[in-house]
């Protein structure tokens, strides 16, 4: 592994470790080692190490909070960077140009009705009553490193009178991970607040994209296929009603408390409106489908178990392996196919797996199995 010595010689101030276990760096505590691993807290280090790795053709994977990534039991070859760059800059309002964000997103609404009580299915979260728009409030430009912890950003910004992120309370995420999959909270997507994103492309060039260039959609962004590395993002937030936003944070946290943390969040995307109509279901929620239609709630393989609290989540109830987790996913996919002629699409990312390990799970394994550059 000559490149470990190369990296260490090039960046003596950074600690690079061989065969470092990645499980502790994920919420689900699953995953083998990184061939080479480093934690980066400075943006300048993230830029320099990324550019060096690209130039030397060292396979590169960026990990944020690890809340949406299933890592193979064999680990990830190449360099894995845990991004902990945490800088938040609030710009003076005179520098805030009010463009490029759109609160009335055109993103398909299939997550919206997912957990509403009128469906007869309530997995603990009903956000519909809490929603409001704050588009009338003055805007404020905030730049955040991709490694910023989303929960920390919500609290820090609220304490400075800045609102807009309250809908994402209790979502374990880095800002980079949140943009990568355009996270959703209630009726909102994080992309609604984005103005632009600074990235490093495959040639090592630093670039900036406007939000309109990011292909933001339900559980999608350009980063799924571009393999660019997100360095930082400019958000247009609000000088909004802070007490109201704080009350949302409290209500949201209460509703989301039921969701198991030893998981990767909802494993599958909700089904489309067309599929929902074909199956005559009251909700597009895959939690509903798994619990009520496939009756698989509680299924356990090894230590990976479909949560008793929320059937869209698969928990690690002990010492689950990635193979256990994948086996549960496969069972659900096969049952949905057999009973409903439905191919469920995973919402999580698979890092370090071979295409054959993901056969039947990820339709385009090479494009979606990893965010490796």
Ligand X SMILES: Cc1cc2nc3c(=O)[nH]c(=O)nc-3n(C[C@H](O)[C@H](O)[C@H](O)COP(=O)(O)OP(=O)(O)OC[C@H]3O[C@@H](n4cnc5c(N)ncnc54)[C@H](O)[C@@H]3O)c2cc1C
355 Cβ contact list (under 8 Å, min separation 6): 365, 366, 369
Q: What is the C-alpha to C-alpha distance for residues 172 and 29, in angstroms, rounded to an integer?
A: 14
The footprint of ligand X on residues 138-167 (CB under 6 A) is 146
Work out whether 261 is an interface residue with ligand X (CB under 6 A).
yes
Binding mask 341-360 for ligand X (x = CB under 6 A): --------x-----------
Q: Is the CB of residue 373 less than 8 Å from the CB of residue 229?
A: yes
Q: Is the CB of residue 82 less than 8 Å from the CB of residue 40?
A: yes
Q: What is the C-alpha to C-alpha distance for residues 256 and 236, in angstroms, rounded to an integer?
A: 26
Which listed residue (63, 71, 322, 344) binds ligand X by CB under 6 A? 63
Which listed residue (31, 176, 191, 240) binds ligand X by CB under 6 A? 176
Q: What is the C-alpha to C-alpha distance for residues 11 and 81, in angstroms, rounded to an integer?
A: 14
State the nearest-atom distance from the C-beta of 106 to ligand X, in Å. Answer: 18
Work out whether 83 is an interface residue with ligand X (CB under 6 A).
yes
164 Cβ contact list (under 8 Å, min separation 6): 134, 157, 193, 235, 237, 238, 240, 245
105 Cβ contact list (under 8 Å, min separation 6): 188, 189, 191, 192
Q: Which is nearer to ligand X, 142 or 150 (CB)?
A: 150
Only segment of 48-56, 112-120, 177-185, 299-307 that touches ligand X (CB under 6 A): 177-185
Q: Which residues on neighbouring strands pair with residue 40, listed in sequence order?
A: 83
Q: Which is nearer to ligand X, 61 or 96 (CB)?
A: 61
Which listed residue (31, 185, 191, 287) binds ligand X by CB under 6 A? 185
Binding mask 225-244 for ligand X (x = CB under 6 A): ----xx--------------
State the nearest-atom distance from the C-beta of 223 to ligand X, in Å. Answer: 5
Binding residues for ligand X (CB under 6 A): 27, 61-69, 83, 146, 171-174, 176-178, 180-181, 183-185, 223, 229-230, 259, 261, 263-265, 349, 371
């Amino acid at each position: 592994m000559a490149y470990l010595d190369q990296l260490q010689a090039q960046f003596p101030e950074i600690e690079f470790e061989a065969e470092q276990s990645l499980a502790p760096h994920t919420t689900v505590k699953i995953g083998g080692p990184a061939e080479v691993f480093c934690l980066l807290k400075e943006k300048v280090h993230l830029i320099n190490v990324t550019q060096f790795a690209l130039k030397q053709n060292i396979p590169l994977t960026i990990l944020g909070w690890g809340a949406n990534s299933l890592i193979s039991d064999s680990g990830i070859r190449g360099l894995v960077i845990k991004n902990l760059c945490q800088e938040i800059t609030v710009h003076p309002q005179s520098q805030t140009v009010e463009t490029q964000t759109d609160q009335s997103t055109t993103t398909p609404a299939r997550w919206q009705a997912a957990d509403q009580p009128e469906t007869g299915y309530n997995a603990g979260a009903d956000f519909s009553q809490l929603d409001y728009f704050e588009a009338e409030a003055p805007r404020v430009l905030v730049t955040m490193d991709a490694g910023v912890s989303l929960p920390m950003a919500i609290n820090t910004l609220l304490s400075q009178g800045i609102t807009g992120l309250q809908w994402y309370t209790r979502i374990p995420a880095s800002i980079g991970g949140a943009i990568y999959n355009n996270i959703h909270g209630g009726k909102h997507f994080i992309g609604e607040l984005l103005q632009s994103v600074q990235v490093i492309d495959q040639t090592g060039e630093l670039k900036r994209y406007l939000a309109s260039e990011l292909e933001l959609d339900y559980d999608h962004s350009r980063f799924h296929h571009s393999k660019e590395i997100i360095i930082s993002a400019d958000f247009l937030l609000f000088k909004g009603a802070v007490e109201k936003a704080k009350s949302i944070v409290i209500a949201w946290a209460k509703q989301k408390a039921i969701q198991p943390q030893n998981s990767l969040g909802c494993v599958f995307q909700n089904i489309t409106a067309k599929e929902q109509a074909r199956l005559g279901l009251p909700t597009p929620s895959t939690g509903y489908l798994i619990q009520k239609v496939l009756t698989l709630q509680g299924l356990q393989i090894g230590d990976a178990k479909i949560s008793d609290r929320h059937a869209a989540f698969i928990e690690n109830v002990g010492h689950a392996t990635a193979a256990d987790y994948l086996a549960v996913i496969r069972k659900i996919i096969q049952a949905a196919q057999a009973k409903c002629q439905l191919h469920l699409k995973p919402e999580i990312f698979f890092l370090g797996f071979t295409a054959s390990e993901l056969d039947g799970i990820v339709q385009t394994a090479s494009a979606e199995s990893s965010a490796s550059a």
